[in-house]
Amino acid sequence: MKFSFSRSRALLAALLTSGILLLPSGTLAGGSGAPVAAATFKNPVLDINFPDPFILKAGNVYHAYATNGVNGNVQHAESRDLTHWKVVADALPTLPDWAQPGLTWAPEVSHLGGKYQLYFTARDLDSDKQCVGVAVSGSPAGPFTPAGRGPIVCQASEGGSIDPSPFVDSGGAAYLLWKNDGNCCGLPTHVYLQKLSADGLHLTGKPTILIQNDQAWEGSVVEAPTLHKQGGVYYLLYSGGAYDSSGYAVGYATSTKVGGPYRQAAENPVLVSRGMVAGPGHQSVFSDAGGQTWLVYHAWTNGLIGDSLGYRSMRLDRVTFSSGKVKVSGPTTTPQPAPRP
């Protein structure tokens, strides 16, 4: 059927009058012009090299941070609906004096004392090992300014320290998790936990070892710790295996106390390679506006594993925490119900 110009104008006017207009992308826009989330989305949500992703919500904007790449020392992207992302300015344009350029990994952000703290991994010039630093900003978009005169964690005798991850407990106490980089040097790897100062810029007390690589699927490494509390249970998610292989995967351990002891789950790993998705891992957890918990992680495309062949794109899948068990819906590649922004 063909519509005359006048009938097309009448139809458009009726849609606008009703307050709803179907856009070409399939999303809906209300009469106010504010976008409404698409009904479905499909992974990857950011199909560029964006390894070790972390997502933080501030106001009505979601911020994603990732390991260094063509977009800067700390790659940074923003979204209002979690499925459409725009790469923006480098969140850490200036490295601290102690750091060697080109090796800034696995950034994560906390909000303590009215400021935002960016924890990152960089190679320490003095020890020639990867160590953990912190930078601060009044905005989640940065730019973040390095704090202190050196790393806040640098276990040179244990191969270095990488993959910092902040956690704020239900009572308000803040902690930092990380792993020693023992796999770089034929040493065991451990996930550590230590309390943070109120401003998030210093560690206090003594570190506690939560887990180490003692399961067959983990190989020589446990890394990328993420701590999530729900229903009185602390869920420690982590990645294991070689990052540049299809064996890279996500597992978890649980405890009723933040400092442990933690018991690694018998059903590990819970997120593994499937189909065209290879080596899923370096996860973190966040919640959408509807309270649904999500796992953000990176993965290779099967057959294109390794930086010389492919790249690690950013992906989202639902994750549930119940009665001491973790269930991940992915890795998915088909249309899925979209998050609530």
Which residues are annotated as catalytic?
A: 52, 223
Phi, psi of 184 (to 5 degrees): -70, -20
β partners of residue 210: none
Q: Which of 68, 67, 70, 73 is nearest to 52 (CA)?
A: 67
For residue 20, how many other CB atoms are within 10 A of its CB?
12
- Whether 191 contacts 240, CB under 8 Å: no
β 145-146/161-168 pair status: unpaired
233: which 2 tokens? 């249970």
Q: Which residue has the tokens 């940074």?
A: 76
Angstrom distance (rounded) from CA 275 to CA 328: 16
15 alpha-carbon distance from chain centroid? 40
Angstrom distance (rounded) from CA 59 to CA 116: 13
Q: Which of 138, 221, 215, 220 is nearest to 179 (CA)?
A: 221
